[in-house]
A and B are shown apart, each in its own frame.
Chain A
Amino acid sequence: MRNVFFFIRKYFTFFFFLFLQGLSVYLIVRYSNYHNAMFSKTALEVTGNISSRYNRVQYYFLLDKTNDELLKANERLLNQQKQNFSQPDTGNLLSAGPGINDTLSANRKWLYHAAKVVQQSIIQQNNYVIIHRGSNQQLRNDLGVVDINNGVVGKIVETSENFSAIMSLLHKDSKVSAKLFKYPDVAGTIFWDGKTPNIVELIGIPKSLKVAKGDSVITSGLTATYPAGYMIGQVAEVSPDKSSSNYQIKIKTTVNFYNVQMVYAIDNLEQDEIKALEKKLEKKNH
């Protein structure tokens, strides 16, 4: 027994080294699943705070650019207003724009929350965007996030009191259901291969379709996270996958992840109901 203690004492440094390495690897494995990506809400709150101070300075230099983008977004929204359309034919509902909406009614499905980005990363293998709005400001997990040009940024994976972390499209676990604007019936999946920022891949589009460079790729609306029709990007490169009947399509993202400053989190008010339904189904199957 004495020898055991002596042995441990002699190689204490080495054992301590193994312990710390083990702890680090444990942390990596434990948090490699994005569902518990943040190792503590306190850490998110503290780093978010420091980042927002830094961003206050950095944002000053981007003001005119953000202003231009907001102006464009506003123009697009103004053009959708109902009074811009004259309707001599009352039966024609196609050009009705947003239509008559009672904003207080129970029919609302999507609710938008504006937020300021305080930190974004693109050089890691798993990238997050941190926004200055959290659980105290009605955000929660699994909300889709788009930027002011209607481009998909990602989805919220963790919220602290005043900050939220968004798993951006540039993340190994990011999977978004998408379709080509030309073929609204065929849905594929968007993921990131970890190589180039602002370039993601689309799989699941059969070779029988004609896909050209520059085609728009939009969200499919098949999942509860994003409404249908939000821009993901444009086709940058098409190559046939030799081992399957599908294309391998490279997409240039609409969002410039190098510099995203303003975003909207989209709350799906029906999400809870859908989740409850899924749980019921799971119970039935077991």
Chain B
Amino acid sequence: MSPLIKNIIRFALFVLIQVFVLDRIHLHQLVTPYLYFLFILWMPFKMNRSWQMVIAFLLGITLDAFHHHPGFHAAACVLIAFIRPYLINLFIPQEGAESNYNEPSVKSMGGYLPYFIFVTVLTIIHHAWLFLLEAWQFGNLWYFFGNTLFSTAISLLLIIITELLFVRKQKFKTNTI
């Protein structure tokens, strides 16, 4: 399957799962599980950074359309799409897995630990920015901290489960074609 079609299907699936499954899970008002932004983390390495942000913006605005309040998810998604390349540069192995694999994964980032840190940092940034913008309306700081902390924990758990359930087949591209 071509990467374009694969990513379009992924985009639709993540949005639908977020809107119709995860948004309907009411664990607690402080805990909102988010998974859709994993789409941004899984975007290919070799992609124009401006395009990455445009796609992230589109993903965010699509989700906002379902929540009937534009801007919140778009802002958070654009932020992590902007920070993502810096983190990848930080955690990618010296041999340059960037040229060997298509997208970030446990394999291409060189182990569980770097990949997990990569995911955790972006999850925290995404949630913090999202809930900060929301807290700005109600002006409740403790609510913001609790929301970020608990939601991040649940989202990370969901991401780990997703990674274990859906193993992405990643071809190793050698130099000898």
A123 touches B50 (CB 8 A): no
B50–A16 touching, CB < 8 Å:
yes
- Assess whether B74 is in contact with A24, with CB atoms less than 8 Å apart: yes
Q: Does B66 contact A (CB under 8 A)?
A: yes
Interface string of A13-46 (1 = CB under 8 A from B): 1101100110111111101100001110001101
Interface readout for B27-59 with A: 1 if CB under 8 Å, 0 if not? Answer: 001001000000000000000011001100100
Q: Is B143 among interface residues, defined by CB-CB distance under 8 A?
A: yes
Q: Tell yes or no: B134 within 8 A of A by CB.
A: yes
Q: Could you say which of B29, B74, B137 contacts A27, with CB atoms under 8 Å apart?
A: B74
* CB proximity to B under 8 Å, residues A152-201: 165, 172, 193-197
Is A24 a contact partner of B140 (Cβ separation < 8 A)? no
- Cα–Cα distance between A27 and B68 once the two chains are bound (Å): 12
Query: How many A-B contacts are there with CB distance less than 8 Å?
Result: 93
Q: How large is the interface on B (under 10, 10 to 19, 20 to 34, 35 or more residues)?
A: 20 to 34
Contact A24 B138 (CB under 8 A): no
A125 interfacial by beta-carbon distance below 8 Å: yes
B26 touches A258 (CB 8 A): yes
> Are A125 and B74 closer than 8 Å at their CB atoms?
no
A43 to chain B: which residues have CB within 8 Å?
65
Q: Is the CB of A25 within 8 A of B75?
A: yes
Q: Hey, which chain A residues are within 8 Å of B97, CB to CB?
A: none
Is there a chain B Cβ closer than 8 Å to A128's Cβ?
yes
Write the B53-86 contact mask toward A (1 if CB under 8 angstroms, else 0): 1100100100011111111101100110010000
CB closest chain-A residue, reference B22: A123
A54 interface hit (Cβ, 8 Å) = yes
Q: Is B133 an interface residue (CB 8 A)?
A: yes
A31-B71, A54-B20 known; A13+B133 contact, CB < 8 A: no
| A125-B143 Cα distance, complex, nearest whole Å | 11
Is A125 in contact with B57, judged by CB distance below 8 angstroms? no
Confirm or deny: B23 has a beta carbon within 8 angstroms of a beta carbon on chain A.
yes
Q: Which residues of B contact A24 (CB under 8 A)?
A: 57, 60, 71-72, 74-75, 78
A124 interface hit (Cβ, 8 Å) = yes
Which of B29, B53, B69 has a CB less than 8 Å from the CB of A31? Answer: B69
Nearest CB in chain B: distance from A40 CB, A: 9
A228 within 8 A of B: no
B72 near A28 with CB under 8 A, answer: yes
**Cβ-closest chain B residue relative to A196:** B29
Given the known interface contacts A20-B57, A125-B137, the answer about A195 and B29 at a Cβ–Cβ threshold of 8 Å is: yes
Instruction: State whether B29 touches A165 (Cβ < 8 A).
Output: no
Which B residues touch A122, using CB under 8 A?
A: 26
A68 to B65, CA, bound (A): 34
Q: Which of A119, A126, A194, A196 contacts B69 (CB 8 A)?
A: A126
Q: Are B53 and A16 in contact (CB under 8 A)?
A: yes
Residues in B neighbouring A123, C-beta threshold 8 A: 23, 26, 29, 32
Which B residues touch A44, using CB under 8 A? 68
B78 touches A20 (CB 8 A): yes
Query: Across the interface, do A21 and B137 meet the contact criterion of CB distance under 8 Å?
Result: no
A59 at the interface (CB under 8 A from B): no
Q: How far is the CA of A174 from the CA of B22 in the complex (A)?
A: 25
Tell whether A47 is near chain B: CB-to-CB under 8 Å. yes
4 closest pairs, A vs B, by CB?
A28-B71, A24-B75, A27-B71, A27-B70
What are 24 A-B pairs with beta-carbon distances under 8 A? A13-B50, A13-B53, A16-B50, A16-B53, A17-B78, A17-B79, A17-B82, A20-B57, A20-B78, A24-B57, A24-B60, A24-B74, A25-B75, A37-B68, A39-B70, A47-B68, A123-B23, A123-B26, A123-B29, A123-B32, A172-B138, A195-B29, A196-B29, A197-B26
